[in-house]
Amino acid sequence: MSSHIKKLFSQTMFYGLGAFLNRSLSIILLPVYTAYFSVNELGYYALLSSVWFLLIVLYMYGSETSFLKFFIDENSHEGKCKIYSSTLITITVTSFIFSIVVFILAGDIAEFIGFANDSYGIYIVRILSVLLFTDSMYRIPLILLRAELNAKKYFQLTIVTFILNLAFNLLFIFYFRFGIEAILYSYIISVAVTYIYSLYITKQFLTFKIDLKLTGRMILYGNKFIYIGLIIIFTEQADRFFLKHYFDEGLVGIYSASIKLASVMRLLVVAFRFSWTPYFLNIADDPENKKIISEIFTYFVFAGISLVLIFSLLLPPLVKLEMFGISFLDKDFWYGLKIVPIVLLSYFFAGLIANMNVAPFFSNKTYHLFINALIGLGVYLISNIILIPLYDITGAAFSTLFSYFVMFIFLYFISQKIYRIEYQWFINLTIFFVAVCCFLLFTLISFFVENEMLIFISSILLVLLFFFTIQLSGLLDLRKVLSIVKSVKVT
């Protein structure tokens, strides 16, 4: 059983590094962004990013999930070539059309976002139309590498993207003195170059021919994931617009910066999801798959809760530390640090939901995922309307947590009805309880102790106490966990 965990962990580590490098530049450059841009400018960028994430779901129209399903189920090389080439050509054509529409409607979109300067807002949205075109095409070769479980090449591509993106961000911000368009231009250039390189890497599957009948079947299969994707993105992004409505874009900027800090956890969940979906589809016929899934879930709970505790205790004091008079997070943004533990826990439950996706896929009842997304959206909207006017960014963070928690509970009970798996709930809940106790102790210490260094030292000791308690209780053998970590190999 541990061989399955080692293999999945190996995949997740390298997809994780790839996903982290690809998506974490805003975290790495957070000191630059918060020092160079005002809270209002970052607020506008956060709102623009929300539109970006929403529109890219429409650009992809469920092709990521349908590609994984069709490609993995296909046994012949010729069939795989048809699937890849048909998807690539279709996405290129439709993305071009969508981007023309976004370019034409730039004024309306800019007005929706609420840019103070109309002409600048239109300019930024037109850049976004180009970004969406390049971003959608760039994703297809990466999906192929995920389907093939080829973490090595996936990592190579994301390294190229990361280096280019970082270099052009610094060039456009410090040399050309661009505004937030610097972030957009950098992303466009980096993914465009990487896309060309990715076509070379995946050339053995490239035929430049489209099978319209196959394309139709893939679109029909993937269309339901458009709605699921839109709902999930709306659930993750709409709170920015609620905050702007009830308060202002400055608070959106503070909220966005805090979200980026906690996004370290989100990126790890994304990495797991990237490797998990093709992985469980590949073990669908394994008679031991239920035991494998249960054990993987336990290790995910341990890893996820450990990271939530570590980041919750260590991130806030670390980002305040000053080096040469500069802190990782500018003082104007410190107000948002209080929501970091809430957001981290939200992403943990998002990871648990990803674990529960197995049953709907195995039983061909993926409509449950759509129902679950709708329930989460309802909880999210009601919570935002009630909590944001009362508690501003704290209310927004709790709204996201509540929605993910309800989605997890619903999907768990539905999954157990259609594909029952015996999860190790005693171990899982005990791990969670120990972590909560450590966090409450930290909160108590922080309340009575004012010295930042003593608080930081206590946070480290409490993290060590958590691991010591887990090992001493016999819930998990941490030596086995370390052996899994040491066994990582790129496949």
Give the per-residue pLDDT at 231.
86
Picking from 242, 278, 285, the residue whose alpha carbon sits closest to that of residue 397 is: 242
Residue 5 has pLDDT above 70, yes or no: no
When pLDDT is averaged across residues 111-136 and rounded to a whole number, the result is: 92
**Average pLDDT in the 321-342 region?**
79
SS3 letters across the chain: CHHHHHHHHHHHHHHHHHHHHHHCHHHHCHHHHHHHCCHHHHHHHHHHHHHHHHHHHHHHCCHHHHHHHHHHHCCCHHHHHHHHHHHHHHHHHHHHHHHHHHHHCHHHHHHHHCCCCHHHHHHHHHHHHHHHHHHHHHHHHHHHHHHCCCHHHHHHHHHHHHHHHHHHHHHHHHHCCCCCHHHHHHHHHHHHHHHHHHHHHCHHHCCCCCCHHHHHHHHHHHHHHHHHHHHHHHHHHHHHHHHHHHCCHHHHHHHHHHHHHHHHHHHHHHHHHHHHHHHHHHCCCCCCHHHHHHHHHHHHHHHHHHHHHHHHHHHHHHHHCEECCEECCCHHHHHHHHHHHHHHHHHHHHHHHHHHCHHHHHCCCCHHHHHHHHHHHHHHHHHHHHHHHHHHHHHHHHHHHHHHHHHHHHHHHHHHHHCCCCCCHHHHHHHHHHHHHHHHHHHHHHHHCCCHHHHHHHHHHHHHHHHHHHHHHCCCCHHHHHHHHHCCCCC
Confidence of residue 12 (pLDDT cuts 50, 70, 90): low
Considering the domain boundaries, does residue 476 fall inside one?
yes
In this predicted structure, what is the pLDDT of residue 202?
93
- Please give the structure tokens belonging to residue 2: 């541990």
Statement: residue 3 has pLDDT above 60? no
For residue 378, pLDDT beyond 70: yes
Model confidence at 248, in pLDDT bands (50, 70, 90)?
confident
The β-bridge partners of 326 are 323
Kindly state the greatest CA–CA separation across the chain.
68
**What is the pLDDT, as a whole number, of residue 488?**
46
Q: Considering the domain boundaries, does residue 121 fall inside one?
A: yes
Q: What is the mean pLDDT of the chain?
A: 86
Residue 11: how many other CB atoms lie within 10 Å: 26
- The tally of domains found in the chain comes to 1
Q: Is residue 309 part of a domain?
A: yes
pLDDT at residue number 490: 45
Q: Name residue, tokens 């809270």.
A: 39
Structure confidence at residue 93 (pLDDT): 96
Contact 24, 161 (CB under 8 A): no
Whether 265 has a pLDDT exceeding 60, the answer reads yes
What's residue 20's pLDDT?
61
Write out the two tokens for 489: 């190999």
Any domain includes 43? yes
Residue 491: inside a domain, yes or no? no
Residue 281 included in any domain? yes
Q: Is the pLDDT of residue 458 over 80?
A: yes
pLDDT tens, residue by residue, 156-170: 888 899 999 999 999
Query: Is 491's pLDDT higher than 60?
Result: no
Give the separation between CA 397 and CA 383, rounded to whole angstroms. Answer: 10
pLDDT above 60 for 373: yes
Determine, yes or no, domain membership for 41. yes
The percentage of residues in the chain with a pLDDT greater than 90, rounded to a whole number, is 48
Identify which has the larger pLDDT, 480 or 119.
119
What share of the chain has pLDDT > 70, as a percent? 91
- Per the structure, the complete domain to which residue 129 belongs is given by 2-486
Using the CB atoms, write b or e for 24-58: b if 16+ within 10 Å: bbbbbbbbebbebbebebbbbbbbbbbbbbbbbbb
- Mean pLDDT throughout 448-475? 87
Q: What is the pLDDT of residues 38-64, one digit of tens each?
A: 888 888 998 999 999 999 999 999 898
pTM for this predicted structure: 0.75
Q: How far apart are CA 327 and CA 407, in angstroms?
A: 37
Question: Angle CA(482)–CA(483)–CA(485) in degrees, nearest 5?
Answer: 65
Buried b (16+ CB within 10 A) or exposed e, 224-241: bbbebbbbbbbbbbbbbb
End-to-end Cα, the chain, rounded Å: 19
Q: Would you state the pLDDT for residue 483?
A: 57
Q: What mean pLDDT is predicted for residues 315-344? A: 80
In a domain, 379, yes or no: yes
Confidence (pLDDT) at 1: 46
Residue 74 has pLDDT above 60, yes or no: yes
pLDDT higher than 80, residue 6: no
Is residue 366 predicted with pLDDT exceeding 60? yes
